[in-house]
Chain A
């Protein structure tokens, strides 16, 4: 890969219009498919489509799934606990972003 380093790489920004398949999500986050299915069941992830093969996730799901998997693995919590932590973490993140924007710290 070193030889290519001089050429300019153009990537794809994963924004709210990007949809990710079940397989892509598992691959990207290195999470087993049954764990991802459980995350859907618990509501950590909310794909469109009925059957797993038709599931489409929004780009933010990549980060959520990876974080939930890490919390579960490292802290010995179950996925429901990881979901709760994740929701609180995201709330803190949003509040801190607001705070920075408004107060200038």
Chain B
């Protein structure tokens, strides 16, 4: 176990005042909150900051930590001395259940879980005997949503051991991926959440769907978007070209006089639903390279004969 420098985590000096620590925490919490942050390691950083604040905001814990910190360097192998907290009084409380379940071994070795005060389901006044509902995010291939599929999904869930420590348990579920499932939708698996207390029923498991990026199609709700490269003469003169769709290749008529970015809609060829989504084919006019003398001659001829001013609309 490594010694953790909570001051470095919070970016404050060792002699920082309590309100300075609070300000630093608020700022970092906003920056790394998993619901808000775009940072890659937001969740890990958020937990780390929460843990540091849990210690530094509490003058009792902070004083005990400071005494320890004077003889350890960050990253150094750490084992708490047997009587390290002798002479310090802890009034407990304050650790939220969410936060308490995520703290590091380092934190637990110092302050344990019992002193933290959080005990999962029994928060507040309502006591619930039914098992807790669990939530997990799952990545789903677009093909699986288009056709429906059965997939083995491995979930890691934190679990409280008999002696009050947190371990991670893996379980694999074979889950039917319903046809047409979309980004952000949840699949509820009744009775597959946390175990109930006594004879009470278990909670439910909610799987939040995130569609994996697809090499061809982009997804917006139930609609799909496909980029279709076309040659300038196909766009200008019109053409019938072959286009991939989730249900197989189709012939698509490109109207004469099409420009790049033009969207052609194939109705009902998006994600299946009561009202199925559409497939939008987005034209991308692609220029032939002018890498031979012949090609350059053709471009030059267009230049001379077309009198084309692409910037006519700029109003010079």
Contacts and interface: CB of A to CB of B under 8 A. Distances in A.
A5 B221 CA distance: 31
Nearest to A12: B188
A8 to B, nearest CB: 5
Interface stretch (A37-45, A47-55, A59-67): A59-67
Given A66-B135, A71-B35, A104-B218, A11 B29 contact: no
Interface in B138-190: 150, 171-176, 178, 181-190
B282 to A, nearest CB: 8
Contacts of B181: 13
Contacts of A71: 33, 35-36
Contacts of B204: 28
A7 B174 contact: yes
Contact of A75 (B30, B178, B182): B30
A10 B35 CA distance: 29
A67 B35 CA distance: 7
A27 B183 contact: no
Nearest to B208: A63
Given A5-B173, A6-B174, A12-B188, A33 B220 contact: no
Contacts of B208: 63
Interface residues of B, number: 53
Contacts, number: 108
Interface in A8-24: 8-15, 17
B183 A14 contact: no
B267 to A, nearest CB: 17
A104 B96 contact: no
A98 B220 contact: yes
A32 interface: yes
A30 B219 contact: no
Nearest to B181: A13
B3 interface: no
B24 interface: no
Contact of A9 (B35, B176, B282): B176
B169 to A, nearest CB: 9
A37 to B, nearest CB: 13
Interface string B198-221: 000001101110000000001111
B26 A76 contact: yes
Nearest to B204: A28
14 contacts: A2-B171, A5-B171, A9-B174, A9-B189, A11-B188, A13-B181, A17-B274, A27-B130, A59-B185, A71-B35, A89-B36, A98-B220, A100-B220, A104-B227
